[in-house]
Chain A
Amino acid sequence: MTNVQHSNPILDAASIAKSFGPVRALTDARLRVSAGEIVALLGANGAGKSTFVKILTGALSPDYGRVLIRGKPANVGSPAKARASGLIPVYQEPSLIPDLSVFENLRLSGTSVEPFLEFVTKLGIEDIRLEDEITSLPLATLRILDLGRALASNPQVLLLDELTAALPTDLVENVLKVVREQADAGCGVIYISHRFSEISLLCDRASVLRDGQTVGELVIKPGVEEHVVELMLGAKIDLYQREGLSSALPNSSTPRLSIKSLSAEPKLEDVSFNLYSGEVLGVVALEGQGQDELFEILSGFRRQTSGAIELNGNLVSFAHPADAIAKGLMFVPGDRADALLAERSVHENIALPFSAAGSSWGPLKRRFENERVKHAIEKLQIDTRAQGEVRRLSGGNQQKVTIARWLAKGVETLLLLDPTRGIDVRTKRQIYRLVRELATQGAAVLFYTSELGEIPLACDRTIVIFNGRVVDIIDAKDATEQVLMRAAYGLERQGTEA
């Protein structure tokens, strides 16, 4: 590990730990930023980055550890206090009040107008009028205003969270230039981004989080990306075994699902791919690359702006999830809380789709239901000791309930959006096995996961989405974590592949 000497840290966060119930989001996170230094904070999905950011900005208090700013304890605990101690964040999503004018927003946070305008002009937005209402401004401008407001509040430490994600190239250049100037003037900067190109241009150091722990601090120099990717993935012991590949390449038949140039606001630009029956197709993407929109369209929660969905060669469109279900497309969302009736029983959660149609509002068909529900419970080995209320089950068992629902109903095309997030290894393995088994029986499965190591375990092929487009299609046998991680960050595949 490269150890960097910190002569004079402005911000010094050490041994930060935070748990949410049984989930340990952070175990030992640390970060030191010196005056004039720009530090990239990196970590794969679920590494604890967003929790760490919330603690630094005062939205959460840590269970353990301390945050010092210029040697004094930072008054974290509320955003107002964190601001007062000199740490000014620019959040991932715009944080200006939509219904107020630019000027009113400045007044609300007590920011002076003159330096704000100066910074905004320098950042390349020249036609800004103070009386403009925030809702009437484009997203890119809002991001610049957010940054301008932060810069004008005399930050000692500036925290920029995915600021450039929504910016066109010319504005990105300005941002990088201004942030560099700010650092040269003595400000410390924490920079969070999915874009390696920016990090290598702008940052001095990178601090890498993995599984809630800071695992390395590197000086940025050419070729450091490989090292960062390695650190983010870690040397994982391979606990998993491949659950068996489907041998036949399915290209011969009509695809079960054929997606053609699908796009939807705000993130999905142009996605096309085929999903065959008997196949598990992985989806790899960093957070917010359009995969949420894709799954919502396929499950009937949202309409596409353009593009087409073909099911077994026929054009389909869904106005309601009921339409998608009728066509055999069943969706397991990323957040279990979205799919479960927390206070109802396991049986009721699994049997819910049986009563959905108006024709089944009458007396419950107990025997019919019991049989199928019992079968699904056994198949997934759901622990039914606390079946009276789903929320008393463990996370893994809750996730199984969301899948069991569709197993009981009978599934043809299963859409899984990060089904293994935050659950234990044993349950994960059961889910891979189940997914493989469903495929063998002829189902088609679309499987998004934020854990890249799962792709070769459960999938036959995987598509990689970056900036709302499919940038690569990778065979399971080639899908090492390095390859996937590079692809997910939009980096070119290394020579031998092409």
Chain B
Amino acid sequence: MSELVRKNTWTLGLLALFLVLLAFTKTIQTNFGVSGLESLARAALPFAFATAGMAVVVIVGGIDLSVASIMAVCSVIAAVSMPVVGGVAGILIVLTLGTVMGAINGGVIVATKVPDIVVTLAMLFVWEGVALLILETPGGQASDWLQASIQGSIFIPGLPKALLVIAIVVSVVWLPIRRSQLGLSIYATGSHEIAAFRSGVSVGVTRIWAYSICGLFCGFGGLSLVSLTGIGEPVPGPYLLASVAAVVLGGVVLGGGRGGLLGPIIAVFVLRIIRTILTLAGVDPNITTIIEGTVMVSVVMLAAIFTYRGGRA
């Protein structure tokens, strides 16, 4: 038990921080309750999936700047395809294509030997273009039941469905991988590529897998976007910087090899609840955006100071 606590100090600390912030929210807005929690979880949904995907590629030692664009593509595909082929088929199509887009990112990185950050910067624009080609203006239609699936609470009031969706998806996708040889290879590649190669890991294939998993999470992110608004939105949302910040805040080291997915997802909620607090406190939404941006940039900067000093020692 103490071992478990020691290994997850950072994650537990984040969770405590979140609970403190939640309590603080309750004090400034006494009628903040079940519906507040529900809308918080709903708003966090696309951020959580973008962050989960980003976390996987950061763990393997890369970065994917195109997460928001892939999510945009997925959301328009969902909105366009669902009225035609139905909800379930639409979901399957979206998840498949999301994975394929991730695999393309990884494949291009491995094949061209161009650094991750450059390839995914170019792919950010390519996927954004694809989204606009599919749907020039916001439109399409998501299945009603999909929209309902993230509304309200389930089992007990105060357990938002959206939170359950995040928990189920991330556990079903990530936990089996984490436990498998592939998961081990992902951590090994990110931690020390040469040693991994010497231990018999095929580093290139592992990379492509990691980017594919990221693409799959982006597929879920795209689905959550259509379920939130009911329509497809071709212009990428503000998920890139937010996901990098959440990944870093969640204890995943830029450069790879360390951390998990739970920390970053809790970090998403921490960052989201800051917005809720500011809104409830009556702060101008634009100023809220500035504060949010500053918090995110500061988080990344602090992480850079940390790793830079660590790297030198």
Say whether B213 faces chain A, with CB atoms less than 8 Å apart. no
Residue A110 contacts which of B195, B200, B202 (CB distance < 8 angstroms)? B200
Nearest A residue to B189 by beta-carbon distance? A97
Nearest B residue to A80 by beta-carbon distance? B200
**Known A98-B257, A131-B3; contact A108-B201, beta-carbon cutoff 8 A:** yes
Residue B199 contacts which of A59, A97, A98, A99 (CB distance < 8 angstroms)? A97
Q: Is the CB of A99 within 8 A of B200?
A: no
User: Which residues of chain A have C-beta atoms less than 8 A from B191's C-beta?
Assistant: 97-100
Q: Is the CB of A97 within 8 A of B200?
A: no
Say whether A477 faces chain B, with CB atoms less than 8 Å apart. no
Q: Is the CB of A97 within 8 A of B257?
A: yes
Inter-chain CA distance A105–B187, complex, in Å, is: 11
Residue B187 contacts which of A96, A99, A109 (CB distance < 8 angstroms)? A99
B5, chain A: closest CB distance, angstroms: 14
Q: Is the CB of B197 within 8 A of A97?
A: no
User: Which residues of chain B have C-beta atoms less than 8 A from A97's C-beta?
Assistant: 187-188, 191-192, 195-196, 199, 257
Q: Is the CB of B184 within 8 A of A98?
A: no
**Known A97-B257, A98-B257, A108-B188; contact A79-B198, beta-carbon cutoff 8 A:** yes
Residue A108 contacts which of B185, B190, B194 (CB distance < 8 angstroms)? B185
Q: Is the CB of B198 within 8 A of A91?
A: yes
Interface contact tally, CB-CB below 8 A:
54
User: Which residues of chain B have C-beta atoms less than 8 A from A83's C-beta?
Assistant: 200
User: Which residues of chain A have C-beta atoms less than 8 A from B197's C-beta?
Assistant: 79
Q: Is the CB of B196 within 8 A of A79?
A: no
Of listed B195, B196, B197, B198, residue having the most chain A CB within 10 A: B198
Count chain A residues whose beta carbon lies closer than 8 angstroms to a beta carbon of B. 19
Residues of A91-106 contacting chain B, CB below 8 A? 91, 94-100, 104-105
A373, chain B: closest CB distance, angstroms: 34
Say whether B181 faces chain A, with CB atoms less than 8 Å apart. yes
Q: Is the CB of A100 within 8 A of B198?
A: no
B193, chain A: closest CB distance, angstroms: 10
Inter-chain CA distance A108–B257, complex, in Å, is: 14
User: Which residues of chain A have C-beta atoms less than 8 A from B187's C-beta?
Assistant: 97, 99-100, 104
Nearest A residue to B191 by beta-carbon distance? A99
Q: Is the CB of B198 within 8 A of A98?
A: no
Say whether A107 faces chain B, with CB atoms less than 8 Å apart. yes
User: Which residues of chain B have C-beta atoms less than 8 A from A99's C-beta?
Assistant: 187, 190-192, 257-258
Mark A73-99 against chain B: 1 for CB-CB distance below 8 A, else 0.
Answer: 000000110010000000100111111
User: Which residues of chain B have C-beta atoms less than 8 A from A109's C-beta?
Assistant: 199-200
**Known A95-B195, A131-B3; contact A100-B184, beta-carbon cutoff 8 A:** yes
User: Which residues of chain A have C-beta atoms less than 8 A from B200's C-beta?
Assistant: 79-80, 83, 108-110
Residue B181 contacts which of A98, A100, A107 (CB distance < 8 angstroms)? A107
B207, chain A: closest CB distance, angstroms: 16
Q: How large is the interface on B (under 10, 10 to 19, 20 to 34, 35 or more residues)?
A: 20 to 34
Residues of B89-142 contacting chain A, CB below 8 A? none
Q: Is the CB of B199 within 8 A of A105?
A: yes
Residues of B244-282 contacting chain A, CB below 8 A? 257-258
Of listed B181, B187, B195, residue having the most chain A CB within 10 A: B195
Nearest A residue to B188 by beta-carbon distance? A97
**Known A100-B187, A107-B184, A108-B188; contact A95-B198, beta-carbon cutoff 8 A:** yes
Nearest A residue to B259 by beta-carbon distance? A99
User: Which residues of chain B have C-beta atoms less than 8 A from A80's C-beta?
Assistant: 200, 202
Inter-chain CA distance A91–B111, complex, in Å, is: 29
Q: Is the CB of B184 within 8 A of A96?
A: no
Q: Is the CB of B198 within 8 A of A108?
A: no
**Known A97-B191, A97-B199; contact A108-B184, beta-carbon cutoff 8 A:** yes
Inter-chain CA distance A97–B198, complex, in Å, is: 10
User: Which residues of chain A have C-beta atoms less than 8 A from B195's C-beta?
Assistant: 94-98
Inter-chain CA distance A94–B192, complex, in Å, is: 11
Nearest A residue to B200 by beta-carbon distance? A80
Mark B191-222 against chain A: 1 for CB-CB distance below 8 A, else 0.
Answer: 11011111111100000000000000000000
Inter-chain CA distance A96–B184, complex, in Å, is: 13
A189, chain B: closest CB distance, angstroms: 19
A269, chain B: closest CB distance, angstroms: 19
Inter-chain CA distance A98–B201, complex, in Å, is: 15
User: Which residues of chain B have C-beta atoms less than 8 A from A98's C-beta?
Assistant: 191-192, 195, 257
Inter-chain CA distance A98–B257, complex, in Å, is: 8
Of listed B196, B197, B200, residue having the most chain A CB within 10 A: B200
User: Which residues of chain A have C-beta atoms less than 8 A from B184's C-beta?
Assistant: 100, 104, 107-108
B9, chain A: closest CB distance, angstroms: 14
Of listed B187, B190, B196, B199, residue having the most chain A CB within 10 A: B199
Residue positions of A touching B, CB distance < 8 A:
59, 79-80, 83, 91, 94-100, 104-105, 107-110, 131
- 29 CB < 8 A contacts A-B: A59-B198, A79-B197, A79-B198, A80-B200, A80-B202, A95-B194, A95-B195, A95-B198, A96-B195, A97-B187, A97-B188, A97-B192, A97-B196, A97-B257, A98-B191, A98-B192, A98-B195, A99-B190, A99-B191, A100-B187, A100-B188, A105-B199, A107-B181, A107-B184, A108-B181, A108-B188, A108-B196, A108-B201, A110-B200
Residue positions of B touching A, CB distance < 8 A:
3, 181, 184-185, 187-188, 190-192, 194-202, 257-258
Top 6 closest pairs, chain A to chain B, by CB: A99-B191, A80-B200, A99-B257, A109-B199, A97-B188, A95-B195
Known: A98-B191, A107-B184. 15 other contacts (CB 8 A): A79-B200, A83-B200, A91-B198, A94-B195, A95-B195, A95-B198, A97-B188, A97-B257, A99-B187, A99-B192, A99-B257, A104-B184, A108-B185, A108-B188, A108-B200
